[in-house]
Amino acid sequence: MGMDRGTVVFDLDGTLADTAADLIAAANACFESRALGRLLDPAADAGIAFHGGRAMLRAGYARVPADTLLPPDAEEVDFPRLLSFYDDCLADSTRLYDGVEAALHALAADGFQLAVCTNKPLTLAEKLLSALNVREHFKGMIAADSLPPAASTSGMIDSASAPVVEELVNQVASSMEQHARFGGVVPEIASRAHLEAMTPTVRRALDEAGLRLSDVDDIAVTAGPGLAGALMVGVAAAKSYALALDV
């Protein structure tokens, strides 16, 4: 093992492993339980799977015949059921992409710490990585339910976060109070709020981790899904920090 060269953070779905078929199977199990049939195709709809469980449910609901009525709480009822169905089949068809395991070994041998950041619940992410025999490669993991939740309005979440992965620290800034009076997220307000919150949020994350900006070895940023303007702010900030730190 070489000297510690920093941390490399991987997404799970669509980066380490092709999980689409099992995710689609779980969504279709929800639809079939409502006698709607298999509304998603494992191949044609693979891209939808990587946007999360709710995105799959909404895509399926949109294909329900016009004369079929769904209850207004269908998504809220089906989402936990989807997770339960997925728990039963999460490694049936999922496979690591070619070269992933060799890359993990090479990075570790070169002195990098490895971590995972995923929108899966922690228990499912742990179970899947263990089933794929790669859990031991990762020193840390940030999952959908391992961070403090941001405030939400009408089921929509708008937040800027700054995780410091090696220290497993995260700071979240939410602009929900600014959106609440409009009954939902306003893209322009979200973008401006992200811009105003970015530097203070990063500073709080570093302070909580007991680090200086110069201690950061790598920068990672979410480029989607989300509101285009808010995502552009995050990507621009990440590029600026990377340029300033020469990482």
One DSSP character per residue, 157-197 reads: E-EEEEEEGGGTEEEEEE-HHHHHTTTS--HHHHHHHHHHH
Average pLDDT over residues 41-51: 90
Q: How confident is the model at residue 150 (pLDDT cuts 50, 70, 90)?
A: very low
Q: Which of 52, 63, 40 lies closest to 155, judged by CA?
A: 52
pLDDT at 162: 54
Percent of the chain's residues with pLDDT above 90: 40
Q: Greater confidence, 209 or 226?
A: 209
- Band (151; pLDDT cuts 50, 70, 90): very low
Predicted pLDDT at 26:
97
Mean pLDDT of the chain: 81
Rounded mean pLDDT, 107-121: 89
In the predicted structure, residue 72 carries a pLDDT above the cut 80: yes
How many residues would you count in the chain? 247
Neighbouring-strand partners of residue 152: 157
pTM of the model as a whole: 0.61
CB atoms within 10 A of CB 84: 12
Confidence of residue 158 (pLDDT cuts 50, 70, 90): very low
What confidence score (pLDDT) does residue 42 get? 92
Q: How high is the pLDDT of residue 137?
A: 94
